[in-house]
Homo-oligomer: A and B are copies of this chain.
Amino acid sequence: MHRKNLNYRGGMNDRNMEKAKPRTRDSRVTKSLILAAAKSEFARLGLGGARVDVIANKACVNKRMIYHYFGSKEKLFQTVLEEAYLDIRSAEQELALDHLPPRDALETLVRFTWDYYLENPEFIRLVNSENLHRARHLEQSDRIRAASRRFVDMVRNLLDRGVADGVFRDGIDPVQLNITIAAIGYYYLTNRYTGAILFERDFMDKDALDQRLRFNIDTVMRLVERRPVPAGNPDDPA
């Protein structure tokens, strides 16, 4: 009745102003309108915080449609999450890391991960929410599992090639590496709010972002590269 955001409407509804009757009648459009609005709201406020009414309003559809197409708020969240994961996995595949030299491929992956998080802030917020809910929704999706398997294989292959080329050291677990690559970008971004207070700096400043990316690339390259063991190296049992 009140408080609705006045300038929402945005997006692709250049049809009839005043919300009018000739609704889309195109179920595909309706569904994707809902998904876009839901992604934005779930990212902003989490599963519990997002409001079905607000999502319907932002999507310019009747609230009932959400239930028609998705069954429940929770199933809608699940769908949003699945799409978000499929998107990043698909983008990773497009990197075609197999066609790059190992070191370049690895740096490309670190850069891509960082850039993707930066450009798709909803993604990390959705993942955060999902982990607060102990991945209860992701569990259902087999498509995600398959896509992830392909992704791990890609990194494993990259590492193997690097070892064969003599530039990477042996024995690195591709899953641990993946986790670390994600962690050093993801944590910086999700925890930038508390970080700003704790470390008294602006995490989103252009220079700060550049500096962090360089630091992360450095961290990962040093982690994998094969090199003369210096005296007192922790790898050295002596």
Q: Footprint of B on A, CB under 8 Å? A: 1-6, 8, 12-13, 27, 31, 45-49, 67-74, 103, 107, 125, 127-135, 138-139, 144-145, 148-149, 152, 167, 173, 175-176, 178-180, 182-184, 186-188, 190-201, 211-212, 215-219, 221-223, 225-228, 230, 232-235
Q: Let me know if A8 and B139 touch, CB within 8 A.
A: no
Chain B: minimal CB distance from A238 (Å): 14
Please name 18 pairs of A and B residues whose Cβ atoms are closer than 8 Å in the assembled complex, sorted by A.
Answer: A1-B47, A4-B72, A5-B71, A8-B71, A45-B132, A48-B49, A128-B132, A128-B190, A131-B190, A131-B191, A144-B198, A148-B199, A176-B211, A176-B212, A184-B184, A186-B191, A225-B230, A228-B228
* Docked-complex contact A69 and B12, CB < 8 angstroms: yes
Please state if A219 and B211 are interface contacts (CB–CB under 8 Å).
Answer: no
Question: Complex formed: what's the CA distance from A5 to B3 in Å?
Answer: 10
Cα A139 to Cα B227 in complex, Å, equals: 44
